[in-house]
Structure 1
Amino acid sequence: MTINEHLTEYAGLPVADFTHDTGADAELPAVGGHAWRVRTEFDEAGFADVFARFVERVDTTQVTALIFGYWGASYDDGAADPVKLLVENARRFPNLKALFVGDIVMEESEVSWIEHGDITPLFGAFPELERLEVRGSEGLVLEPPSSGALRVLRFETGGLPAAVVRAVAAADLPNLEQLDLWLGTDNYGGDATTADLAPILSGEKLPALRHLGLENSEIADEVAAALAAAPIVARLSTLSLALGALTDAGAEALLSGQPLTHLDELDLSHHFLSDAMMERIRAALPDVEVDLDDQQKAEGEWRFIAVSE
């Protein structure tokens, strides 16, 4: 699986593009009715210049949802730090509620090559931000954030650093309802362990959480075993171990642990389960919407996650 399509909708709004080739006289759509994506391309105008034109051309006081597409890389002379630019211009975005950092597809950069910096300042600059989603993790830095407004937090990565997982685990996010962590593989920096996840699984600091996704993980079996007795599970409506390397051993741990019959949805898609185990899961959870699509076959001892490089 690769990420090869840009977002067409975000935060319930259609996406409007502002790019390196948006001319000074280009007709722009209604500001408040769109999620705005700002991006450039390799060897085109530098991202900082495109962003500067964006904040001058668009009434950013009406922007509620913002997307950062390709902003360059260390090998690109036009590279910039989109988070730093946004924080420096925070006063121009008084109504920003949703932010996606890294709507970048394979043709622009592989997910594991997307270069970030410190995203922690976003929480101080935008205390009313309700949704934050980040794709890529190279160079990603996060200190434990605090926000009473945040409802959705997602990281899409081929390898999420343990330091970032620990920062999320130590965060003060009392109203967070949805958390998705693509844990990835150690080959691309995904070195988190179930010990790093323990504060999340305890649920003590996430009283409002109703969806938990621990996805795209090469240690899916270990995660499943930890979830089997995790207090947070009893409060969830939806649980996802999708995109990972889940085997019968992990599924057995889930089935042998605490009841999952209260769930509305259980997403196990992209897995290495046997046909017999799939039938056992369906039989055990007849009233739960279980996604067992994309069954994989192991090649010897090698099992792969859906999104890595």
Structure 2
Amino acid sequence: MENKNYHWLILFVILIAVITAWLSFPIFFEWLITKHFHINPEDYGKKFGAVGDTYGSLNTLISSIALCAVAYSTWLQVTSLKETREVNAKQLTLAKQAHDEQMIESQNAIFATKFYSLLNFKKDKLNALTIQKRVKNDENEWRLAQEPGMQAIEIIANEFIKLNRKNNKLYIGVKGDDLFDAYRAVCSELNYGSVSSLVSYFYIYEDLCQLIRKSKISDEDRKFYKSVLSSSMTQAEQILLLWICPMFKIDIEDSEIFTLIACTEVFKEFAFEFHKSSHFKSVKWKDVFSKIQTPA
């Protein structure tokens, strides 16, 4: 703004100077021909032409100066318009950046609401989950009882550990229905009835994993929410999820959800047979998968 005022001040000074010169020119011209050239004003027209010719030349000069002033003024206007366009472009860029940031914040807020709502739903479902089980009463008679879901998860997960400790290649080559039949046989041996409600609970993890994977959030936020999800699970939940994922086709792609499962011989063979590196977070698991995929 100060530069613009400076340019107009220069233009104003030039204009005043031109007007002053034009008004004082007759006096200056008279002084020039009488004092400097020592010419009689009456003889002036005979030797130097009419005074009108002089003023005509002066008018041409002034017109040229005026044209220069107009050109200068036009240049100032063009410069001003250019500066205005640049300012407008910067403001537009800033406005777009602000809009994009608001959109990102809005998307993050919507995602967080969905994620934590689903996480709370998972928690509530687990707290309300019960599995029907046959137990003996004091008279050594069988009866049906409702066992808390978390307790059932721990018992079934421990049974999976026992089976793999005895034979860690037990499930190698087992596919499809045979894998489910083996799982169902274990549940029956543990006196559980239908475990469909238990399986339904674990499908919530698929919804959470897909939400994290498909949402438009930053990589840093994605890692954070993956960590929150895995931290919401007990070790028994992770072990049982490891077991039932392949038989029920629970999608945990790129979730790194298994953070509490040690990379030991108990789990290695089953993990290599049915899981991917992206299901595990630890560097040790990823290194082992890498060696299996690219053998020396």
TM-score, normalised via structure 2 length: 0.26
TM-score, normalised via structure 1 length: 0.25
Higher RCO structure (Cα 8 Å, ≥6 apart): 2
Larger radius of gyration: 2
Normalized per residue, the structure richer in strand is: 1
